[in-house]
A and B are shown apart, each in its own frame.
Chain A
Amino acid sequence: MTDTTDHRGRNPGGRNEPRDAAEAHGDAYPPTDAMLDAPVDPDFAKASADRLRAAWKTPTGWRYLSAVNNSEVGAWYSLTAFFFMLCAGVLALLIRVQLAVPENDFLPADTFNQFFTMHGSAMMFLFAVPMFEAISILLLPAFLGARDMPFPRLSAYGYWCFLIGGVFVLGSVLFGVGPSSGWFMYPPLATKSEGMGADIWLLGLSFIEVASIAAAVELIVGALKCRPPGMRINLMPLYAWYVLVVGGMILFAFPPLIAGDFLFELERSFDWPFFDPERGGDPMLWQHLFWIFGHPEVYIIFLPSIAIAAMVIPTAAQRPIFGYSWIVLSAVGTGFLSFGLWAHHMFTTGLPALSLGFFSAASEAVVIPTGVQIFAFLATLMVGRVTWSVPMLYIAGSLAIFTAGGLTGVMLALAPMDWQVHDTYFIVAHLHYTIFGGMVFPVMAGVYYFYPFFTKKQMSPRLGRWAFWLAFAGFNVTFMPMHFAGLMGMPRRVYTYPGDIGWDLPNLISTVGAFVVAAGFLVFAWDLIRPKGRQPYTARNPWGGGTLEWSHDVPDQAWGVRSIPYIESRYPLWDQPKIVERMDAGRYYLPDAEEGKRETLVTTVLDAVPVQCLRVGGPTWITHLAAAFTGGAFIFPTFHWYPPAIVCGVLAVACVIWWLWTGTARPPEKTHKEIGLGLTVPIYVSGPAAPGWWGMWITMLADATAFASLIFGFFYFWTASADFPPDGAAHAASGWVWAGAAALTVSWALTRYARRANRAAQVGIARASLATAAALTALGAGAMLWSAHSAGLDPTSHVYPATVWAILVWTAVHVSAGCIMQLYCLAGSLFGKLTPEYDADLWNVSLYWNFMAATVLVSAAVVDLLPGMI
């Protein structure tokens, strides 16, 4: 996490950030009361409000779909995720109908298997994780008094990818070709399964995972760089902390799965035997990669919901959260620990006793940070004076259900207990208790709580209570008997069962309960979408909350905030008496949009000193095109239609280049801009002060994690398998490997040199360096691939050549992207987009190449040096 480096006293902002506020802004910052009380000229206030309104106007008519603002994209995202959840819920009902009575023939076996696979996959990948990102995109800027996310077009692109991928994956069950090997896709069952179900799962969900990572990058940058002036990192609303923790977890959890998907699809499409024991592969590698993702995933789902509770509870208690630092530490601790638990999903695979002990202990240990967070909430409610409300009802229900699931989790964490109930209905009960209590109910609490913020109307407390009691009672009726069914020996994922061994009654009760839950969701969905046109607008701060989102405009204004306030407290609306009035008056920062452009403030990572007025993208269609072509590149291969897939891939890259070229890092018409209260900040920054640089850095952390997972695969085979590499195996040709590595290393050095030369106004030298670097990159990538080809490595013969090829292909594809970036900068320099003064692109590309240099050297060492040592 970035905050740990900060505590070591380093300035994470790097060289381009001011060391302190005084250095940046002198006496004008922070603003004094006198400055804030100065009257605003009414004519100017009106004119500036009109300009601001015009700049942030949401497109109307069919152009509405070209919107990129967080409030539109976030709303679409949430509703789409909710819709997918309802679809997956319908699958659950069909599953329950089939299991209502023994030996039922309502669903054929294969259909049942598709349904439970899709139920799990959709709930995880199309609902739980996207819902967090959706709600965060919707809410985070409001918590931070920002106008938008730092990369609004990236959110829009992520959303359209999610929609296309989700419809594709979920739609497959309608045609009876859905994946049917379980949401965990264990090989060899899934690698050998016929039809395209498994490919749909792998490619469709990889596509969505990429979009998830994009959203995580944006959320992290949003929380770090787009806070309002004065909101030091320890004043952030807890929700933002959770966004940082969960975003970080996504960065490190999803890439192992993506790497696994990459290997898996290579096996399915091209018969590279990574998981085939007959050719040296090992199905356990997939289990490790899957659960290194899969367990953090549970906390990725759970922590954001805790974050919602952390916003609702102080309001209910009418006092600040008690134990803020405890909660932050525990959230970070939970995040870290969650990466050390994955093997508790593999307790029955015959792991050594030492591993079982370690993972049992780690699994129990995670109870402590989780408990601290819950007890901090309890303490907040104790020291405050609680106002009961519908959101609190949902929080109470969530606590009751989640703690039950947590306590069965404590049982399961003990390996011996797990040997009995693993893969039984006891687990089905446990996981639904944790996820319903730890995710679904808190999200519903959040919907009731934030609904006035989203729509400026209220949901009905009466319907809310009905929905709650139906869902709560139905939930327990459904899942409590599953504990018994599991203990009576009923395994998971069975489409039928005999009638004479005592499973019929608990199953029938579960089925009845499932329909009660469904009734609860129908009531909830109706309350959510029913027309509220005649209802009066809500009060501006209906719950009496203390955080910035409750300064929202009623009725709605697309600008987010009229002016971006200076923050001195965790609960500014409680502690800064005139803040809303001053925000409304446009007394704070950026009250105007003189140039008619969409702008938001960028501040320093730790102290939130304003450093840039960031111009963000407005409505566009390029994101839709990019998403559609990206979708094509992922979807066509499921039909083994490679030529259209390649065409789509090329067009997607072209769209992204066009989008970046026209929409990002354009030299501004002036270097600096007055943002109010006597502050002047640059419009264009490059390097570590810029959000784009942080975006690249964070993306590359995820990319490096995926690469590390591939390398992990190499080491896994090396240690777990006796014949890796097999005797007499061909190795990649040393000379070519190192020739390629050398060319690519020089390319990296030249890219860095080009940045310096360009800064020093030696534009010609910079261009020559970039051109040479791009040429060397192409040669180097070719040499790396040729090293394996010339040595006759056949990737289908054994897992060793397959792994070598996978590492080399990964490296070659990555440096090829690096080559495009080098040429992009060269073109930027030639066409005046990139100048000695405005060089953000070159900074970001150098950063990318730092990672490439490491990737290339690690690849070369692993494919050439290691086999020599074995």
Chain B
Amino acid sequence: MRVRLRIRAGVASACALSLGGCTGVQSVLDPAGADAEVLATLFWVLLSGAVVLWLLLNGAFFYVTRMRVRPHSRKIGEAVIIGAGIAFPTVLLAILLSYGLSIMPDQRAPGDGLTVRVTGEQWWWRVEYLPQDGGGPVVSANELRLPVGARTEIKLTAAKVIHSFWVPNLGGKMDMFPGRETRMALEPTRTGVFRGQCAEFCGTSHALMAFPVVVLPPEEFEAWLAKEREDAAAPADAAAERGREVFLAEGCGACHAVRGTPAKGAVGPDLTHVGGRRTIGAGTLPATAEGFGQWLARTDHIKPDVRMPTYRALPEQDLIDLATYLKGLR
């Protein structure tokens, strides 16, 4: 273990020197989950072996073509083909395969607590929390919150086209298919905010289909989930109140649900607690009043081919009120 850590530290520092570090909110090499840690170690082992083999092979080529250019014996030639071409790789690959495949069962181990169902839509994420103790699903969107130290089962499906669910800091990816359910499990080992993103090309705005992943201590997570289950907060001031009226008058409720109001649409993301999320538009804009305003006024510009119409034509004050209302939905 210590050796492994040292290797990892060594290569990581080389990497840090070369390109400003491997740390990041969406990095395979900055693991924050049990599965991702195993995979990061696997990567460093594979990389070290690959570098050595590359140097040996290309060194040998350079040696025989540029440095010692004279005929060697046929015996050596045969030894090269049989030894380096057949025997050595057979042994090495057998070892590698046993190591690599032995990892698989743990990576696919089921969750032991909460289940979350995530549905890929064009281009956002429908997220439903299904706690073990029942109480019906808690519907949310475009953000995933997980308790640290627990293994959460993630059930995956898609609405129309194939997507792929991926949070590199926590683990590998899994594709999402319409009409079929796939699964995976994530087991965060430290708290923090990470970023997940769709990894299967899914149409025009595939690039704009991300989501924050917030890993919380278990008790904070429970508190958050309890709050997420509640209906939407009432508007806090007159501006928000006007915004709510605009929301309902413009028919936003045909597509979006805000629990506790007549808005019950299920076509687009659930907005009951949208103001409490870190981003809107599936990781595209910050969830600030300004972000909401931009999204409403320039929807198709921010996210090409999105199904939501742009509300550019609304009076500016209505847009501001609407943004205030949405930001207030914490």
Contacts and interface: CB of A to CB of B under 8 A. Distances in A.
A481 interface: yes
Contacts of B180: 277
Interface string A395-425: 0100110011001101100111111111110
Contacts of A316: 65
B113 to A, nearest CB: 22
B100 A188 contact: no
A306 to B, nearest CB: 14
B137 interface: no
A659 B174 CA distance: 53
Interface stretch (B160-168, B218-226, B321-329): B160-168
B101 A414 contact: yes
A400 B97 contact: no
A108 B22 CA distance: 30
Given A364-B93, A487-B22, A424 B107 contact: no
B104 interface: yes
A353 B81 contact: no
Contact of A348 (B24, B73, B175, B202): B175
B19 interface: yes
Nearest to A509: B19
Interface in B68-125: 69-74, 76-78, 80-81, 84-86, 89-90, 93, 96-97, 100-101, 103-105, 107-108
A384 interface: yes
A385 B19 contact: no
A383 B77 contact: yes
B44 to A, nearest CB: 11
B254 to A, nearest CB: 23
Contacts of B25: 489, 501
Contacts of A417: 39, 42-43, 46, 100
A484 B203 CA distance: 25
B20 interface: yes
Interface residues of B, number: 89
A283 B178 contact: yes
Interface in B42-57: 42-43, 46-47, 50, 53-54, 57
A282 to B, nearest CB: 8
B162 A385 contact: no
A420 B43 contact: yes
A154 interface: no
B159 to A, nearest CB: 10
B131 interface: no
Nearest to B42: A417
Nearest to A379: B77
Contacts, number: 267
A617 to B, nearest CB: 44
Interface stretch (B140-148, B205-213, B240-248, B309-317): B205-213
B304 interface: yes
A186 interface: yes
Contact of B164 (A415, A423, A506): A423
A495 B57 contact: no
B160 A192 contact: yes
Interface in B188-206: 195, 197-206
Contact of B97 (A109, A360, A396): A360
Interface string A461-487: 000000000000000000001001011
A491 interface: yes
Interface-centre pick from A380, A392, A411 (highest chain B CB count, 10 A): A411
Interface stretch (B1-9, B26-34, B256-264): B26-34
A832 interface: no
Given A375-B84, A410-B96, A488-B24, A396 B304 contact: no
A823 interface: no
B64 A382 contact: yes
Given A420-B28, A502-B24, A489 B206 contact: no
Contacts of B19: 481, 484, 505-506
B27 to A, nearest CB: 5
B94 to A, nearest CB: 9
Contacts of B13: none
Given A416-B103, A421-B28, A489-B28, A380 B179 contact: no
B66 to A, nearest CB: 7
Given A189-B202, A385-B70, A399-B61, A407 B104 contact: no
A416 B107 contact: yes
Contacts of A424: 199
Interface centre among B96, B105, B195, B207 (most CB of A within 10 A): B207
Contacts of A181: 201, 203
Contacts of A193: 203
B89 to A, nearest CB: 5
B177 A277 contact: yes
Contacts of A368: 85-86, 89-90, 93
B60 interface: yes
B229 interface: no
A70 B201 CA distance: 42
A356 B104 contact: yes
A493 B104 contact: no
- Looking at B36, B108, B206, the one whose CB has the most chain A CB atoms below 10 A away is B206
Contact of A408 (B50, B105, B182, B305): B50
B36 to A, nearest CB: 8
A376 B83 CA distance: 11
Contact of A371 (B27, B61, B89): B89
Contact of B162 (A186, A367, A375): A186
B100 to A, nearest CB: 3
Given A403-B54, A502-B27, A396 B65 contact: yes
A494 interface: yes
A651 interface: no
Contacts of B38: 416
Contacts of B72: 382-383
A489 B195 contact: yes
A374 interface: yes
A235 interface: no
Interface in A87-128: 108-110, 113
B179 A278 contact: yes
Nearest to A485: B19
Interface in B135-159: none
Contact of A496 (B80, B100, B199, B207): B207
A493 B199 CA distance: 9
A506 B19 CA distance: 7
A491 B97 contact: no
A361 interface: yes
A326 interface: yes
B278 interface: no
A552 B101 CA distance: 54
Interface in A612-634: none
B204 A416 contact: no
Contacts of A192: 160-161
A870 B23 CA distance: 55
A414 B199 contact: no
A484 B72 CA distance: 40
B38 to A, nearest CB: 8
A356 B71 CA distance: 45
A188 B81 contact: no
A278 B101 CA distance: 35
Given A349-B175, A488-B22, A506-B19, A420 B39 contact: yes
A418 B175 CA distance: 13
5 contacts: A382-B72, A385-B71, A403-B53, A414-B101, A487-B22
Given A383-B72, A422-B173, A502-B24, 12 more contacts: A283-B162, A364-B96, A411-B50, A416-B104, A420-B39, A487-B22, A487-B27, A489-B25, A491-B166, A493-B206, A496-B207, A501-B195
Interface of A: 108-110, 113, 180-182, 186, 188-189, 192-193, 277-278, 283-284, 316, 319, 322-323, 326, 348-350, 353, 356-357, 360-361, 364-365, 367-368, 371-372, 374-376, 378-386, 388, 392, 396, 399-400, 403-404, 407-408, 410-411, 414-424, 481, 484, 486-497, 501-502, 505-506
